[in-house]
A and B are shown apart, each in its own frame.
Chain A
Amino acid sequence: MRRWTLIFLLAWCAPSQAEPVAVNKTGDMLQALDDLALAAANQDLSLVKMQPIDTALAKRGYENPHIRILFLGSASAVRWAEVVEPRLLNLLPLRLTLIQREGRVTVMSDDFEPWLREFPEDPAHQMLLAWRAELKAMLDDFMRQ
């Protein structure tokens, strides 16, 4: 009986976790934004918008989550998606989430895994892999600064 109860509990707690591309380094939000701007330029990506979730919530009386979102992209990615798979326009512009905690800033991309599973065939799959690789290269550059 106890064995079955254990199996039941393990099965209940088993769901897998999705993990996006993420890096973190010492510093504050403003320094991280500067470094990301430079890393984006090095990858021929343009900054579209910075969404200050932190100040938006704090000025309305909520706890400051120390989170900002950076939207970035390229015209070629938009044209590519229009031709290959217009549903993937929903991923553009690409996004990075910045989280500041205890003197470190974590930068993470959106999770590409559900999209890669949904589009298992080329050229859409290849396009998603290319976008993820572009973001990873940018984050590697960010870490080197």
Chain B
Amino acid sequence: MKQRIQQVFLILVLAWLGISAHADEPEPMLLSATAQGKNMDQAVFALGQAIVKHKYSFVRQQAIDARLVPYAEEVRSVRLVYFCEFAKMDRVLRLDPRGAQLMPCRVTLVETPAGVDLIAVNPAWITQNIPTLHGECQELKRDYQAILDEASQ
């Protein structure tokens, strides 16, 4: 009996070490993709299509300095696109109201000579120390990456 308990304990420890090693893998801060050869309007359009295709809703787009400077002086090379999925939003807020800092989803588009970089803050990086949200945010991270990849095709 004692030997059996020791075996079970050993299995639990090994399982825990395996999970811990996986959990300790550092999350990247940013997720990104590059839409080579596209201009800002084309990249925003492609991103909008990818958002809808992945069953998210487009919320709005704006310049990085919108409402901080007169419209005519807004930066044209950096735009923000916001989107969301209401069922996910509801689920995350029920888990932990700190999930509001992930809402709505956002992609920053930066025009470069080569095309447009699409950048998002990795939700799994933000919630590394918020265990209640981390699992949900792993899924959200996969959605983000799929949307970025699709929009950059």
Binding site for B on A (CB under 8 A): 1, 4-5, 8, 11-12, 15-18, 20, 46-49, 51, 53, 56-57, 60, 62-63, 65, 67, 69, 73-75, 78, 86-87, 89-90, 92-93, 95, 97, 99, 108, 110-111, 113-114, 118
B residues with a Cβ closer than 8 A to A are 5-6, 9, 12-13, 16, 29-30, 59-60, 62, 64-69, 75, 78, 84, 86-87, 89-90, 93-94, 97-98, 100-101, 103-104, 106, 108, 110, 119-121, 125-126, 128-131
| B interface, over-half SS | mixed
Q: Whose C-beta in chain A lies nearest to the C-beta of B60?
A: A49
Contact A99/B13 with A48-B67, A69-B103, A90-B121 known, Cβ cut-off 8 Å: no
Question: Is there contact, CB below 8 Å, between B103 and A114?
Answer: no
Interface of A is mostly: mixed
The answer, among B5, B59, B65, B108, for a CB contact under 8 Å with A75, is B65
Chain B residues whose CB sits within 8 angstroms of the CB of A118 once the complex forms? 29
Q: Chain A residues near B6 (CB, 8 Å)?
A: 1
When distances are taken between beta carbons in the complex, the residues of chain A under 8 Å from B101 are 20, 95, 97, 110-111
Nearest neighbor of A51 in chain B, beta-carbon distance: B104
Q: Chain B residue with minimal CB distance to A45? A: B68
